[in-house]
C-alpha cells in the first residue's frame, strides 16, 4: 500500500545559509513569497544577508533618528528595508530640506529606483528672502515645515539642484514643480514659464513651456491679454493624490557612472505674478504617477 504522507520538499533540505545566498540573488517580492512557503523557508528568507543585498548601497546620510525602529520591533535588515520602502513616511535627509519620497514601495518595484523631493527652502528662489515679494508659510507635509508663497514679482525664477550620485543608475527621471495657487493669483496662466533640466557633463538639455494655472476664469491675466492663449505645446498642471498640483518641467537620463549636478530651472520675467505657493521640486522615475 502506497504511503499518503506528504513528501518533503527537497529544496527545504538545503542549509539555511545556502537558501539565503540563493534568495539574495532574487528580489524583495521573491523573498517574501519564499517566506510564505514554509517555516524552513521563512528563516532563510528573513535573514539579514538576504535583505542587505536589497538595501541601497549608496544611501545618502539621513537625519538623526529617521531610521530608528520602534522598540517592539527587532532591528533587522528586513525591517530597515520596509521602513525605507514606506511611501507614507518619507525619509528626511541630513540637510532636513530633502526627503526620499518613495511613491511606490520598493518591495513592489522592479528597479527600486529612488525619488526625491527638494523642499522650497532647498531651492534657489529669486527674491525669496525679501518679505515684500515672498513669504514663508507653515505646512506639515512630506516632513517639511514651510512653503514659499509669492506676493508680487515680475522676475519669477526658481532653481534646484541634486547630485546624480544620489539617483538610481540606468534610469530616466522627470522633474516636477509641486505647488498650488491662491485666491487672487495673477500672471500664472500666460505667458508660459520657460523651464529646463540638464545634467552636468551631458550636452543635451530638456526644455518645456508650462502654465501654472488652467486660466478658466482668466483672473490671472492682464486685461490686454484676455484674448491670448498659451502656445499649443504648453503643459498644464494636474492634481496629485496629496491635493497639491504638479507639472513636468523636464527630464534626463541618469546612466552609469554619471557624476555631476542635475540642474532644474523655471523662469518668466515679463508680467506681474502673485498667488503661487511652492512646496518643492520632485525628481522621480519618468511616467511614475502619484
Domain ranges of the chain: 1-54, 116-285
Q: What is the CATH number of domain 116-285?
A: 2.60.120
Q: Can you say whether the dihedral through the CA atoms of 37, 41, 44, 50 is positive or negative?
A: negative
pTM over 0.85: no
Per-residue pLDDT of the chain (290 residues; tens, 9 = 90+): 455 545 555 666 777 788 888 888 888 888 888 888 777 788 888 889 888 888 877 778 889 888 776 655 557 888 888 888 787 788 899 999 999 887 666 655 555 678 899 999 999 999 999 999 999 999 988 889 999 999 999 999 999 999 998 888 888 999 999 999 998 899 998 889 999 999 987 777 899 999 998 765 444 444 444 445 556 688 999 999 889 999 999 999 988 756 789 999 999 999 999 999 999 999 998 876 66
Amino acid at each position: 500500500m502506497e504511503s499518503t504522507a506528504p513528501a518533503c520538499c527537497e529544496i527545504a533540505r538545503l542549509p539555511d545559509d545556502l537558501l539565503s545566498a540563493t534568495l539574495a540573488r532574487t528580489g524583495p517580492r521573491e523573498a517574501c513569497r519564499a517566506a510564505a512557503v514554509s517555516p524552513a523557508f521563512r528563516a532563510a528568507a528573513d535573514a539579514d544577508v538576504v535583505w542587505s543585498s536589497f538595501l541601497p548601497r549608496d544611501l545618502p546620510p539621513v537625519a538623526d533618528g529617521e531610521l530608528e525602529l520602534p522598540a517592539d520591533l527587532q532591528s533587522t535588515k528586513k525591517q530597515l528595508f520596509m521602513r525605507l520602502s514606506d511611501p507614507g513616511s518619507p525619509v528626511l535627509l541630513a540637510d532636513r530640506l530633502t526627503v526620499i519620497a518613495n511613491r511606490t514601495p520598493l518591495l513592489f518595484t522592479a528597479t527600486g529606483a529612488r525619488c526625491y523631493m527638494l523642499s522650497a527652502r532647498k531651492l534657489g528662489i529669486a527674491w525669496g528672502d525679501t518679505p515684500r515679494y515672498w513669504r514663508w508659510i507653515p505646512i506639515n507635509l512630506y516632513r517639511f515645515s514651510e512653503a514659499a508663497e509669492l506676493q508680487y514679482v515680475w522676475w519669477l525664477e526658481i532653481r534646484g539642484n541634486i547630485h546624480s550620485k544620489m539617483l538610481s543608475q540606468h534610469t530616466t527621471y522627470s522633474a516636477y514643480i509641486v505647488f498650488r495657487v491662491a485666491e487672487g493669483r495673477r500672471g500664472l496662466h500666460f505667458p508660459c514659464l520657460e523651464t529646463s533640466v540638464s545634467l552636468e557633463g551631458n550636452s543635451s538639455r530638456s526644455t518645456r513651456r508650462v502654465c501654472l494655472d488652467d486660466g478658466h476664469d482668466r483672473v490671472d491675466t492682464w486685461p490686454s491679454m484676455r484674448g491670448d492663449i498659451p502656445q499649443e505645446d504648453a503643459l498644464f498642471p494636474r492634481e496629485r493624490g496629496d491635493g497639491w498640483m504638479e507639472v513636468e518641467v523636464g527630464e534626463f537620463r541618469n546612466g552609469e557612472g554619471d557624476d555631476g549636478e542635475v540642474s532644474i530651472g523655471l523662469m518668466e520675467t515679463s508680467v506681474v505674478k502673485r498667488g503661487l505657493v511652492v512646496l518643492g521640486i520632485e525628481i522621480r522615475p519618468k511616467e511614475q504617477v502619484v
